Amino acid sequence: MRMQVNPTRMELTKLKSQLVTAKRGHKLLKDKQDELIKKFVDMVKQNKKLREEVEKELIKAFKDFAVARSQMAQDIIEESLMIRTTEIKLDVEKNNIMSVEIPKMNITKENGGSIYSYGFASTSAELDTAISILSGVLSKMLELTEIEKACQLMADEIEKTRRRVNALEYVMIPSMEETIKYITMKLDENERANITRLMKIKEMVMNE
């Protein structure tokens, strides 16, 4: 669609400059989009692998808990898990990846001693195993949270970048090119008309 502008040389020069800028911006955005998609695909693969690992460990832990419950009295299980042995401190930072702020979570254990808050005499080995698995899988669960949030933010940025690329490629740049062509044609027509008029004036003067 042609832009509504006056067909002047000043407007033509201005549009040509804007077209150069728009094409440069389109290339930069296209490169950014390609790099975002590449990083997004890598993150999705990493997310899939990590999720499978976490789910596998959680399933094992839940199975061991189920076995422990079948072997131990409910009040003993509750008493064994009542006391807190470790405090977890969670710090959230942000990493900038291709102008996308990705959350980065860091955990530190405070007052850390044994992960077991009970003696082993009255508990089953399955309960010990379940607690050990859950304690170890926590860092992976936080990493999975990071990656899934990063994938979501990356997908949003890819979509925004795609819309901007398409707007430049299919709307703004073609519109500028069509307008430049129109102005150039109009200026050429005006120039031919001026030459014709001057020739007629010259002819009239010579005939006098």
In a domain, 145, yes or no: yes
**123 or 135: which leads in pLDDT:** 135
Residue at 175 is within a domain: yes
Q: Report the pLDDT averaged over residues 34-50.
A: 93
What average pLDDT does this structure show over 171-181?
Answer: 93
pLDDT for the residue numbered 114? 66
Residue with tokens 């407007």: 11
Taking only the tens place, the pLDDT of each residue in 55-77 is 999 999 999 888 888 887 777 77
**pLDDT confidence bin for 48, thresholds 50/70/90:** very high
- The answer as to whether 3 is a domain residue is no
pLDDT of residue 83: 66
Query: Where does the pLDDT of residue 208 fall: very low under 50, low under 70, confident under 90, or very high at 90 and above?
Result: low
Task: Summarize the confidence of residues 6-16 as an average pLDDT.
Answer: 90
The domain containing residue 108 runs over which residues?
9-198
- The token pair that represents 4 in the structure block: 């509504």
- pLDDT value at residue 126: 84
Q: Determine, yes or no, domain membership for 4.
A: no
142 is a domain residue: yes
pLDDT given at position 111: 59
In a domain, 133, yes or no: yes
User: 122: which DSSP letter?
Assistant: S
What CATH number is attached to the domain comprising 66? 1.10.287.3240
Query: What CA–CA distance (Å, rounded) separates 151 from 156?
Result: 9
Model pLDDT for residues 92-127, shown as the tens digit of each residue = 888 888 888 888 887 776 555 666 666 666 667 888
How many domains would you assign to the chain? 1
**Predicted confidence (pLDDT) at residue 192 exceeds the cutoff of 80:** yes
Cα–Cα distances (Å) from 91 to 85, 103, 109, 151, 187, in that order, read 20, 10, 12, 20, 64
- State pTM to two decimals: 0.73
Tell me the pLDDT band of 188, cut-offs 50, 70 and 90: confident
In a domain, 173, yes or no: yes
Alpha carbons 186 and 164: distance in angstroms, whole number: 31
Residue 203 counted as domain residue = no
